[in-house]
Amino acid sequence: MLRGQRFVVGARGGGSSFPAAGKGRTVSGPMPSVVTRSTPAARALSGSAAVRIVAEAVAFRLRGLEMANLAGAVSIALALRLPWTEVAIRTLFAFVLNALVYLNNDWFDAEDDLRAPGRDGAKTRFLAEHMESALAAQVALAGLLVLAALAFDPGLLVALLVGGGTCVWYSRSLKRLPYVDVLAMAAWGVGMPMCGFPLDRMLGWCLALQLGAFAAVYETIQVMRDAPADTIAGIRTSGVVLGVDRTRRLSRALMVVASVLAAAVLHPLAGLASAAALLVPLDGTDVARRWTQVKAIYAAAWLFAIAWIWLTGASAGLLWSIAATPAQP
């Protein structure tokens, strides 16, 4: 997820990714003396530095198992029984889009991440010393994605705009706006998996909406965990404005929405499995572990729904059954 950096003071902007659990938000001392984006070294362009920055951003996320949306996009493509060549192309597009959005998140948060204990210090220092190269890498990746979409499926431009655009906006400012932070992560949860299906596949949209519902739940848990440190830092988020009790109620309400959606459109057992998240305590203790438990529950519900669709060729929701492939004329 996109929020990996936001557990350090200033990461909302001041700075995961779809999130990395266990990275506690910490108030720390003054900025170390390092090269920043305002220095000549940071402004110098270097192709080798750009390649290294992209590789390190991707490797850091893969080690933290933070590219769950990539698995979501691939699983949707498989469930819809797309041709293997199309699955491969869409997977590659989704991977490059992930590289772009996570690099952008690192770029916005570089100076703040230097203050954060537990971050990859060498990686962050190198990025801070090559900010212009990192920006050039983002421009190159965005251009590559636009060209690939135009050549293969212009519908992928929507995934780039909704998924990538929401991420950039979130990293820049939305993560500091109460209520909007949750909505932005829901949009991100829908937009990134859109890489996995042609836009004329109704079931693809339903699956992406399900992932968006899960993402909204994740965000409420994150802002609830961060609320005490955010309050100290003077950062207004949904967790700060609502307080722990009301944020917990919001999280529970969104869990109900996610479960009802799964039961109505995908399969009643997927909805029942999703509802198990309501049993996970959100009492403010060990939130990182609670978040992992919720994620595991939703992963199990998702895998069941994907397997059912792949095996039977359609969803089996209580209200709608939607075919994975278009009806033949």
**Residue 323 domain flag:** no
294 touches 218 (CB < 8 A): yes
**Confidence check: pLDDT of 151 > 90:** yes
**Confidence check: pLDDT of 11 > 50:** no
Of 94-103, 145-154, 165-174, minimum mean pLDDT range: 165-174
- According to the model, what pLDDT value does residue 47 have? 73
Q: What is the CATH number of the domain that holds 53?
A: 1.10.600
The domain tally of the chain equals 1
**DSSP-derived 3-state class of residue 25:** coil
56 pLDDT band (50/70/90 cuts)? confident
Residues above pLDDT 70, as percent of the chain:
80
CB burial readout 259-276, b (16+ within 10 A) else e: bbbbbbbbbeebbebbbb
- According to the model, what pLDDT value does residue 110 have? 65
Mean pLDDT of 176-184: 83
The span from the CA of 49 to the CA of 107, in Å, is 14
- 139: Cβ–Cβ under 8 A, 6 or more apart, which residues? none
**Residue 319 domain flag:** no
285 φ/ψ angles, rounded to the nearest 5 degrees? -105, 135
Of 21-25, 178-182, 249-253, 295-299, minimum mean pLDDT range: 21-25
Mean pLDDT of 290-311: 94
Query: Domain span at residue 91?
Result: 4-312
DSSP secondary structure letters along 91-153 = HHHHHHHHHHHHHHHHHHHHHHHTT-TTS-HHHHHHHHHTHHHHHHHHHHHHHHHHHHHHHH-
**Residue 321 domain flag:** no
**Residue 325 domain flag:** no
**Confidence check: pLDDT of 166 > 60:** yes
Q: Rank 1-10, 128-137, 271-280 by mean pLDDT and report only the highest.
A: 271-280
**Confidence check: pLDDT of 174 > 90:** no
Eight-class DSSP state of 176: G
**Confidence check: pLDDT of 23 > 50:** no
- According to the model, what pLDDT value does residue 20 have? 38
**Residue 306 domain flag:** yes
The span from the CA of 189 to the CA of 254, in Å, is 14
**Confidence check: pLDDT of 135 > 90:** no
**Residue 277 domain flag:** yes
Crossing angle for the helix pair 47-63 and 121-129, to the nearest 10 degrees = 150
- According to the model, what pLDDT value does residue 192 have? 92
Mean pLDDT of 307-322: 96
**Confidence check: pLDDT of 176 > 80:** no
**Confidence check: pLDDT of 86 > 60:** yes
Most distant CA pair in the chain, distance: 67
**DSSP-derived 3-state class of residue 33:** coil
The structure's pTM equals 0.81
